[in-house]
């Protein structure tokens, strides 16, 4: 070829891994591929679930860090808004047109507090969590300084042992403080049981969730005694959302991974001991065989720099004859006992853990019927500060 | 503050984690911090080592993916050029002014071959590896099509079991093919023993390297019989470079991690069983305590999205009273038995594995005497395709 193909000012290869209209076989690997139809099926499955269970859906944008996907979730996926974890993510989402954002995390740094308090000036509702009385003063001061309003949830530790105030009286004291603070609105409770999501058996997840629900209920009772009402009682993830939905207490679900799924969530089992199966794998790392000198192993171009292996190695999609065994920074080793692969062959890998895998890529290449449909930028990639 | 501070068009917080002149305590976390003095000491230690051992230094830019650092390595660190692993990295480095680049890897995709063959048009010497006769034809065709010259090393598998031709006759056959191919120049051997680098004891590393050196030597002898001369016999990493340097066979070292070091390399021992100690830790993840509701554990803002934990958890620098225990996507849990930390306190974490950790950040914040000296972009971050 004599000129390098371009797309909206981007050069294929140098800037972007693919062009719309390209067949999947021509995509520059390794890169992230989103299966268009599986993605929109997942969007629809959770939309219908939430509608039938009369809970709001506020999906977690920390999974995808993408304005395009957040807007799809709101416009066609039934979401009332999104969650994110960082002020920098909220800034990107708000600039991209998302109008209702919960930072489901604490914000303590002075400049970050100021940045957070500026977001409502973009016309975006901003909600944040607090677990400490000093933080209430900090948030109030930042809101007043900017002439804006910040809605605040009391985060309670309902079993994960990470952030969060003690449920019950301590949480209610904090809520009362927020309710009195100028520039702030007390908006409810953040009650995410993160350590339950990836437990493999339904019984383990249910036991942890039953305990979490009791903590949320006792806190709500304590708040009612003080005349404090919760607009939002939020939590739930892809591993437990049916339990929160059925609790009669939670009114917003915060699932993130449902939109993509990953190899670890594929191992989470339903009450009958089978993979949950409500959602399809919609996210893949597309990789190419780049060396095959040994007959029984192929070397592929996807290593540590295109994924996070904290939850295990990726799984080769749609094939049982080959297995991704291990990786170094830029290489993956694939067992190929029958020498079925040849150099240039492409494999779709289901990432072990979707959230931190998305965070090392700049683009989602959206593929439909074997052709590139469009590209979505991972617009808040790297926005961790 | 009424306006958000800017630096070269970038807004602090939204775009960049710090401003030059800021104290370290004001940096927006989590982000990467480079200790200026330790960095330049490391640069100098390896420069002097290579000069005294009369081997060339071609450091691996895959570690840092930064034009600024590559140019420091060349201009003051004694490097003759750099290595990288991907065509996209080579493109960024060449556009940034690096004039001598070895892609220490195979390139097989048609568009990537074309992209590689265009790089010499920027005035940059380009060298690549091959381990398969078909690849020689592909490279020759791409070079001829673009009217450029590509130098090619035969990669041999000297024990890592990844890419690479069989040492000896097979490797020499490939070299002869390259030497005859239009548009290509046979430039020597790539002999990196990647699986030896992180072995903890000196004896393990030496045993693997002795074996690798024998394979290189026998290949060189085979090449001499055919009248083929090696300009480059390259290999070596931060764990083994003194062995390659002393081998009498290798003439280029490809260390990458030496410039930063990491927690895993800190555990690599010298012949006396002590940490090697030639290089200082120059790279840190700066993190802030963001929640401390439980007395004995602090929650920090650095989780999976700002590091790779494939080689273990990060180590808190300069403190023995606290320990980074585990992480989730955006949080780290730090054991703080004496409740010594408070919200807002900053810790420097030594990453478990530097290369894939750098690849999730956009900026190196260079700190000297407690103040931000400058920022270097991670210019080839994410360039894996």
Instruction: Report whether A27 contacts A285 (CB < 8 A).
Output: no
Interchain pair A293, B132: CB under 8 A: yes
Contacts across the A-B interface (CB distance below 8 Å): 193
Q: Please provide the average confidence, as pLDDT, over all residues in chain B.
A: 96
B316-374 pLDDT per residue, tens: 999 999 999 999 999 999 999 999 999 999 999 999 999 999 999 999 999 999 999 99
* pLDDT tens string A13-69: 888 999 999 999 999 999 999 999 999 999 999 999 999 999 999 999 999 999 999
pLDDT over 70 at B198, yes or no: yes
**Residues from chain B contacting residue A88 (CB–CB below 8 Å):** 13-14
* B17 neighbourhood in chain A, CB within 8 Å: 385
Asked whether the beta carbons of A180 and A145 are under 8 A apart, the reply is no
Which structure tokens are listed for B1? 């503050």
Q: Do B356 and A194 touch (CB under 8 A)?
A: no
Q: What is the rounded distance in angstroms from the CA atom of residue A323 to the CA atom of residue B155?
A: 25
pLDDT of residue A40: 98
Q: Is the pLDDT of residue B202 over 90?
A: yes
* Inter-chain CB proximity A162 and B291 less than 8 Å: yes
Over range B224-236, report the average pLDDT: 97
Whether B339 and B7 have beta carbons less than 8 Å apart is answered as: no
* pLDDT at residue A1, as a whole number: 46
Among residues B243, B157, B156, the alpha carbon closest in space to that of B197 is found at: B243
Please judge whether A105 and B343 are an interchain contact, meaning their C-beta atoms are less than 8 angstroms apart: no
Q: How far apart are the first and last CA of chain A?
A: 42
Tell whether ipTM is more than 0.90.
Answer: yes
Which residues in chain A are contacts of B343 at CB distance < 8 A? 108, 132, 134-135
B123: left (phi over 0), alpha (psi -120 to 50) or beta: left
Name the nearest CA neighbour of A228 among A303, A174, A148. A174
pLDDT at B3 over 70: no
What average pLDDT does range A227-250 have in this prediction?
97
Residue A9 is predicted with a pLDDT of 82
Distance CA B252, CA B58 (A): 6
A257 to chain B: which residues are within 8 Å by CB? Answer: none
Segment A151-165 shows an average pLDDT of 96
Q: What are phi and psi of A8, to 5 degrees?
A: 50, 45
Residues of chain B found within 8 Å of residue A299, distances taken between Cβ atoms = 162-163
Residues of B within 8 A of A28 (CB-CB) are: 109, 111-112, 385
Closest chain B residue to A287, measured at CA = B385
For residue B30, say if its preceding peptide bond is cis, omega within 30 degrees of 0: yes
Mean pLDDT of B182-210: 96
B112/A166 CB distance under 8 A: no
Residue A231 has φ and ψ, to the nearest 5°, of -70, -40
Average the pLDDT over B42-71 and give the result: 98
Residue of A nearest to B29 (CA): A385
- pLDDT at residue B1, as a whole number: 46
Å between A52 CA and nearest CA of chain B:
31
| Secondary-structure breakdown of chain A: helix, strand, coil percentages, each rounded to the nearest 5 | 35, 25, 45
User: Tokens standing for A297?
Assistant: 């192993």
Interhelix angle B87-95/B67-75, nearest 10 degrees: 70
C-alpha B348/C-alpha A340 separation (Å) is 47
- Angle between the N-to-C axes of helices A202-225 and A169-180, in degrees from 0 to 180, rounded to the nearest 10: 50
Tell me: pLDDT of A312 over 80: yes
pLDDT above 90 for A5: no
Chain B residues with beta carbon closer than 8 angstroms to that of A87: 13
- CA-nearest residue of chain B to A130? B291
Record: contact B109-A329, CB cut-off 8 A = no
The residue-averaged pLDDT of B48-62 equals 98
Radius of gyration, alpha carbons of chain B = 22
CA B87 – CA A28 distance, rounded (Å): 11
Q: Please give the residue of chain B at the shortest CA–CA distance from A107.
A: B290
Q: Do residues A165 and A156 lie in contact, with contact meaning Cβ atoms separated by under 8 Å?
A: yes
CA distance A168 to A112: 29
- Indicate if the pLDDT at residue B5 is higher than 80: no
Q: Is the pLDDT of residue B2 over 60?
A: no
pLDDT at residue A4, rounded to an integer: 66
**CB nearest B291 (choices: A28, A112, A132):** A132
Instruction: Please state, in angstroms and rounded to a whole number, the distance separating the CA atoms of residues A224 and A12.
Output: 58
Q: Which residues of B touch A168 (CB under 8 A)?
A: none
Please report the pLDDT score of residue A344 as a whole number: 97
Q: What percent of chain B has pLDDT over 90?
A: 94
Per-residue model confidence as pLDDT tens digits over A106-153: 999 999 999 999 999 999 999 999 999 999 999 999 999 999 999 999
* Nearest partner of B99 among B82, B118, B122, B124, judged by Cα: B124
CA distance linking residue B250 with residue B241, whole number of Å: 10
Which residues of chain B have a CB within 8 Å of the CB of A29? Answer: 109, 385
Q: Which residue of A has its CA nearest to B311?
A: A310
Query: How many Å lie between the alpha carbon of A305 and the closest alpha carbon of chain B?
Result: 5
Per-residue confidence at A277, pLDDT binned at 50, 70, 90?
confident
Backbone phi, then psi, for A243, in 5-degree steps? -75, -45
Q: Taking residues B244-256, what's their average pLDDT?
A: 98
Here the tokens at position A151 are: 């809605």
Burial of B316 (0-12, 13-18, 19+ CB in 10 A): buried
* Residue of B170, B329, B331 best to disrupt the A interface, most CBs of A under 10 A: B329
What pLDDT, in 10s, does the model give residues A62-117?
Answer: 999 999 999 999 999 999 999 999 999 999 999 999 999 999 999 999 999 999 99
Helix or strand (DSSP H, E) at B4:
none
Q: Which of B108, B111, B162 sits opposite A331 (nearest CB)?
A: B162
pLDDT the model gives residue B13: 83
Three-state secondary-structure class, residue B18? coil
Counting residues of chain B whose pLDDT is more than 70, the rounded percentage is 99
Helix extents (H) in B226-319: 241-245, 263-266
Average pLDDT over residues A258-284: 93
């Amino acid at each position: 070829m004599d000129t390098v193909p371009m797309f909206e000012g981007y050069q294929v290869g140098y800037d972007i891994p693919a062009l719309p209209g390209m067949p999947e076989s021509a995509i520059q690997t390794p890169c992230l591929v989103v299966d268009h139809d599986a993605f929109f099926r997942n969007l629809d499955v959770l939309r219908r679930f939430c509608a039938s269970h009369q809970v709001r859906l506020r999906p977690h944008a920390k999974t995808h860090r993408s304005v395009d996907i957040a807007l799809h979730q709101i416009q066609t996926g039934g979401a009332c808004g999104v969650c994110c974890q960082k002020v920098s993510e909220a800034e990107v989402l708000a600039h991209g047109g998302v109008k209702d954002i919960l930072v489901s995390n604490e914000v303590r740094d002075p400049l970050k507090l100021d940045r957070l308090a500026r977001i409502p000036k973009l016309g975006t509702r901003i909600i944040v969590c607090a677990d400490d009385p000093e933080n209430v003063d900090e948030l109030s001061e930042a809101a007043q300084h900017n002439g804006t309003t910040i809605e605040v949830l009391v985060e309670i530790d309902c079993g994960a042992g990470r952030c969060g105030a003690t449920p019950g009286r301590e949480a209610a004291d904090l809520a009362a403080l927020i309710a009195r603070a100028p520039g702030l609105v007390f908006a409810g409770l953040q009650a995410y049981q993160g350590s339950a999501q990836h437990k493999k058996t339904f019984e383990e997840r249910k036991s942890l969730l039953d305990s979490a629900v009791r903590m949320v209920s006792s806190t709500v009772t304590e708040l009612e005694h003080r005349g404090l009402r919760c607009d939002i009682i939020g939590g739930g993830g892809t591993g437990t959302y049916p339990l929160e939905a059925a609790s009669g207490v939670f009114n917003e679900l915060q699932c993130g991974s449902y939109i993509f799924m990953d190899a670890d969530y594929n191992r989470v089992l339903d009450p009958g001991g089978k993979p949950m199966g409500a959602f399809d794998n919609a996210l893949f790392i597309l990789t190419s065989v780049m060396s095959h000198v040994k007959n029984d192993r192929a070397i592929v171009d996807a290593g540590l720099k295109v994924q996070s292996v904290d939850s295990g190695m990726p799984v080769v999609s749609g094939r049982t004859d080959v297995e991704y065994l291990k990786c170094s920074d830029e290489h993956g080793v694939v067992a190929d006992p029958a020498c079925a692969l040849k150099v240039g062959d492409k494999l779709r890998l289901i990432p072990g853990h979707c959230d931190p895998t998305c965070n090392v890529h700049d683009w989602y290449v959206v593929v439909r019927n074997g052709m590139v449909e469009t590209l979505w930028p991972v617009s808040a990639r790297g926005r961790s500060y």
